[in-house]
Amino acid sequence: MGITVRDLLERPDLQTRLIAGEAGIDRSVTWAHVCELEDPTAWLSGGELVMTVGIGIPADPAGQVAYVERLVKAQLSGVMICEGMRAPRLSEEMLEAADRWGFPVMLTAFEVPFVAVSRVVADANREEEHARLWRTLQVYEVARLVVNADLSPVEFIARLERCVGARLLVLDPAMGQAVLPPKAGVPATLAPALSRALERYSSEQVPAIIQLPDAGPSTIALAVPARRRAFLVVSGRSRRAAHDIVVLRHVATVVALALEGRTADLERRRRLGAELFTHLADRRITPDLALDLLLEEQRFPPPPYAVAALAADTVPLCELQDRLDAHEIPQVALRREGDVYLLLPDTDRARKSLCEGIRSASVGFSERISTLSRVPEAMLEARWALHQAREAGRSFVRYGEPGLGAGGVPLSVELARSLAERVLGAVVAYDASRDGRLLRSLRCFLEHNCSWSETARELGIHRQTLVYRLRKVEKLTGLRIDRTSDVVTLWLAVQAAAALGLGDGGQQLVTDAVSVRATPGKGSRRG
């Protein structure tokens, strides 16, 4: 079955002669492909015969040797060059390299069209085409089973491996981890080899086949046409057996179908998780029902839990959740007031995975949650801890951690809230009703060590406008900015307000907490 380089040389109608690489004339030819690129290997999978008029062959000896070596590494069957066309003089160094590698280099008469060679190869490989059709049908039978959810992820990949006769692995290049089959071990050389290969291309222009010789012989990668960026890595064939790129393209399509199904399920679960977290934060769901939903739909373990807070611009939320899912850390997320809140198990492993996912940014953790009725207060605790982490220049702070304060502000959320509301409540109310900038102006003034000129410059306003605003603050608070004790009180209240999200668009979070405090039997710090 099939045809070899020797068969092509022995056909008188093709008028082809061998000039180098005699040791490789028994190589099988899967296809005859015309290519005038200096590096045609990005578009071939192995086993092909390259036909060229010579445009892509370098003129210098070193370049010609490199050209041959690229074709050899891609496991092509040989190269056929048309005589009397555009090829430069073939150097002795190139021919010696071809002999050394056993790579056939042939010259074909000018009057022989390349299409004649292609037809000879296609006719000889007709039986292989029937086998390819059968393998393709097998691949789409696997696709049918995936759509009907009749295959587990491990069985899915195992069936596809039997179809193509090679080992398959679906790899996420960003995390260097296997997507399918789940929890599969990734060879140490594979992820770095794929990353190095992808560096040569833009994300929009990746070749159909990526050769990965550093990851092992006959190892290639194909982009999976799905929303989640992933690559189908194929390995395990012998050096002489070429991958069937046609069937592998169908396999990549079926893998994309499976990934899209997983992505849709994941997006649905995350959307339901965000809705559940919102209901918990607003106290629109009973703790018992919320716990049942966490255990059944979100695959949470039993309590205790914790709430983590981080800035919304720290890292894309979907990327962070993908990383946590890869480490099997269940979580539900909620965006509110410029921050992201995550409800997740209170374990060292969960905290470590989260901190690794946000790189060098800060994250605040609440106290332990044993009952979900404490979620609104835990959100305040997490935000307060995040404020402390930023003030201390740390990546992680847990609420109530000894020895940490923000400019002397009490660590208790209740005390901080009471101080902020008592001192600045009228200022916040004025800003909300008149779209004012009193609290922002006061904060900026205190942060610039009560410098009128620096504060006005920072705010972009006239000095007299700043004077007017701060006089209004004095009237509303009953405190004076030229009295040291009053300045200290204002500074502490401003810091507490910043930690709790009061003012500058953060009123909602504090309003929620106030409503929790006003509800009988709720807001307790027990649990």
My answer on whether 372 and 486 are in the same domain is no
Specify the pLDDT at position 413: 65
| Number of other CB atoms surrounding residue 255 within 10 Å | 28
Residue 391, φ and ψ in degrees, nearest 5: -60, -35
Q: What is the CATH number of the domain that holds 293?
A: 3.30.70.120
Burial of 156 (0-12, 13-18, 19+ CB in 10 A): buried
**End of a domain among 124, 157, 173?**
124
Q: What is the CATH number of the domain that holds 26?
A: 3.40.1390.20
Distance CA 202, CA 505 (A): 40
Number of domains in the chain: 4
Distance CA 149, CA 152 (A): 8
**End of a domain among 124, 148, 173?**
124
My answer on whether 321 and 374 are in the same domain is yes
- Which residues, listed in sequence order, are joined to residue 180 by a DSSP beta bridge? 170
My answer on whether 305 and 192 are in the same domain is no
Q: Does residue 364 fall inside a structural domain?
A: yes
pLDDT tens digits, 300-318:
999 999 999 998 888 888 8
My answer on whether 137 and 228 are in the same domain is yes
Q: Does residue 511 fall inside a structural domain?
A: yes
My answer on whether 134 and 248 are in the same domain is yes
Specify the pLDDT at position 360: 75
My answer on whether 310 and 192 are in the same domain is no
Specify the pLDDT at position 502: 64
User: How far apart are the two ends of the chain, measured CA to CA in Å?
Assistant: 74
In sequence order, the 6+-apart residues with CB closer than 8 A to the CB of 301 are: 295, 330, 345
The range of the structural domain enclosing residue 306 comes to 282-398
Q: Does residue 269 fall inside a structural domain?
A: no
Specify the pLDDT at position 138: 87
Q: What is the CATH number of the domain that holds 165?
A: 3.30.450
My answer on whether 178 and 53 are in the same domain is no
Q: Does residue 523 fall inside a structural domain?
A: no
My answer on whether 375 and 461 are in the same domain is no
Distance CA 234, CA 221 (A): 6
| Number of other CB atoms surrounding residue 81 within 10 Å | 20
Q: What is the CATH number of the domain that holds 476?
A: 1.10.10.2840
Q: How far is CA 495 from the centre of its chain?
A: 36
Q: Does residue 176 fall inside a structural domain?
A: yes
My answer on whether 243 and 168 are in the same domain is yes
Q: Which residues of the chain, if any, have pLDDT below 50?
A: 404-411, 505-527
Residue 341, φ and ψ in degrees, nearest 5: -115, 135
**The pTM is what?**
0.58
My answer on whether 133 and 258 are in the same domain is yes
Q: Does residue 361 fall inside a structural domain?
A: yes
Q: Does residue 526 fall inside a structural domain?
A: no
Q: Does residue 42 fall inside a structural domain?
A: yes
Specify the pLDDT at position 418: 76
